[in-house]
Structure 1
Amino acid sequence: MVGRFLLIVLTLGLCTFVVRPEMFEAVFQPFTQNDAPAIYTQTSLLRLTLSHLALVACAVLASTIIAVALGILVTREFGREFLPLARTIASVGQTIPPVAVLALSVPMMGFGAAPTLLALFLYGLLPIFENTVTGLTNLPPNVIEAARGVGLIRRQRLWSVELPLAFPMILAGIRLSTVISLATATIGSTIAAPTLGEVIIAGLLTSNSAYVLQGGLVVGLIAIIIYEVFSSLEHSAARRLGFQMDA
């Protein structure tokens, strides 16, 4: 109950800051030098936050669709031989640094959001894929046998039994992918993608620690909020299934 209250307070504080950042000018003024502005005003902080979240949401959604589909494929009898290949594909984003993906994709896709989306999509595949495979390969054998016993065909077992049982584990992978993508998306501003990285970069270029702190603080608070929301959903789904999850 206390944790939920703190999460609500944190969310309200974050929303207030991105909508009316000038209210917090006194908080950030000590981090400036030579009478530099304490609040970033070149672009609306709310606009950058919404754009940042939209990029992450689109990338994670695409990663989830592909990673879950691959996870289902390699846990079926006909697809088990493709597990090494699928794992290699899912690992590409973790193997190649996002900065390298941006550098390679800009000549083909141009500057802006598209290369950033590609980098986030690739970077988010592995956690979701691995959790999907783990969730689908560690199901209670007695439940699967019971599903076979009542006459459910393979497709029915997948949608009615296996995926619901693996759902908390898949959610954990999506949570991890989202939190990683939130932080990684900031580099998109180096190629003109509208993200909160713009505030951080502006701070670094002008030696204004207040800007750097603002951009990092917003990204960090969003990551905490999303992490807690996903964790709550995972525990709720696990309780409905009768599982016990670690805090």
Structure 2
Amino acid sequence: MHVLILGGTTEARRLAELLHGTPGLTVTNSLAGRVASPRLPPGEVRIGGFGGVEGLTAWLREHRVEALIDATHPFAGTISFNAARAAASAHVPLLALRRPGWVPVDGDDWHEAPSLEAASSLLPALGERVFLTTGRMGLAAFAGLDALWFLVRSVDAPEGPRPVRSELLLDRGPFTLDGEREVLRRHRIDVVVTKDSGGEATAPKLTAAREAGVPVVVVRRPPVPQGVLEVGSPEEAARWLGHMR
């Protein structure tokens, strides 16, 4: 049985580890290639796009894929819709492995925004020293806020427009609570911006912000394809495959 995992996330890597070495199972992990030095999962790995719905459909058929698992980042919306259309065209069963989003708790000061641009518009009323943790893509949305100072954290150095008054922090999760507390203290952060990525790897910044009384602007997730079976953990995805076999 040939399984294609659309990955690049902690959950996708964990699923590949669970499936690795299973008799009668071939797993191909597909990474978009947006990170210079990705953490490679076990098994076969391909890096790069498919060329849209038609390209992915052709790949599924050519390589005789019998199950497709979309374990991409919650904000990688385009590939999820492409996967749904390609799976339907190639008649391949599709499962979406999507980590649950974060939920505010008592003491959180969250301000939700539907987009990076909307998040940018909220910042002047919330603080002057911003911890921007939305990754290296989309920084142009904040480039016009010259009165604010930004600490921009990403895995790789960003390209294109970004805030003039900014400092770049290259780092990769998982992050610790003590480490996030130190980042807020050392840089005198008074507002945090994050996407609702979910998961535990980057969640400590939310706890650190709550403890420090720092507001958090949370960018909501984009829409996902309707009618696709979803699970929230790699273990559930592995069980789904087991039932198929």
How would you bin the TM-score normalised by the shorter chain? under 0.3
| Greater fraction strand | 2
- Choose 1 or 2 for highest CA Rg: 1
TM (norm. structure 2) is 0.23
